[in-house]
Amino acid sequence: MTGFSAEAQTQGERLLDLCRKRKLTIATAESCTGGLLAALLTEFAGSSDVLDRGYVTYSNAAKMQAIGVREATIEEFGAVSAEVAEQMATGALEKAKVDLAVSITGIAGPGGGTPEKPVGLVYLCAASRDGRVVAQTLSLGPRSRSEIRHDSVLAALDLLLRLASSDGSPH
């Protein structure tokens, strides 16, 4: 496998195995990672029995059109916010009709940060068909764009593993 750390590969394979055992399907809704999570999961043969689809919703318009993020939420909180991350996850869950969905939105840099929302700020959210929602905020700066995106994927895998486990507790 190219481009993914051993840790990411191990976590991705672990997630796919767990979801296969539990007959769970996944959708991803990615912004700052640009599809890296979906790319990682599709590195494994047979991943199509778990990964249903991945949305790369880089623009605000894509977030609204593809997965139903409300314009008012983006206007009030910004595209990089916990509120938008939650709507991305729940929107992907609903549109794809899957068991689990995860979202990633953030500022990967090197530009685009502000004092209120610096480079490395990432919001993640995972939602399950049974109504569980887990969220996480990362402060990954100052680091490279590549490192921020990689660590965001690792965090998203962790959230999905938590929801895919039978009781939703951390693995």
Give the pLDDT confidence of 51-79 residue by residue, as tens digits: 999 999 999 999 999 999 999 999 999 99
pLDDT band at residue 128 using 50, 70 and 90 as cut-offs: very high
Give the pLDDT confidence of 1-41 residue by residue, as tens digits: 468 999 999 999 999 999 999 999 999 999 999 999 999 99
**140: its two tokens:** 């990954």
pLDDT at 171 over 90: no
Rounded to an integer, the average pLDDT of 148-161 is 98
3-state helix, strand, coil in the chain (%, to 5): 45, 20, 35
- What share of the chain has pLDDT > 90, as a percent? 94
Model pLDDT, residue 3: 82
pLDDT band at residue 167 using 50, 70 and 90 as cut-offs: low
Distance CA 120, CA 127 (A): 23
Q: Count CB-CB contacts under 10 A for residue 94.
A: 15
Domains of the chain: 6-164 (3.90.950.20)
pLDDT at 156 over 90: yes
Q: Which residues lie below 8 Å from residue 86, measured CB to CB, with a gap of 6+?
A: 103, 125, 127, 133, 135
Give the residue among 151, 144, 141, 148 at the shortest CA–CA distance from 117.
141
pLDDT at 107 over 50: yes
pLDDT at 168 over 80: no
The DSSP-derived string for 82-119 is HHHHHHHHHHHHHHHT-SEEEEEEE--SSS---SSS-T
Rounded to an integer, the average pLDDT of 122-139 is 98
Model pLDDT, residue 170: 47
pLDDT band at residue 142 using 50, 70 and 90 as cut-offs: confident
Given the DSSP bridges, would you call strands 121-128 and 51-56 parallel, antiparallel or unpaired? unpaired
pTM: 0.95
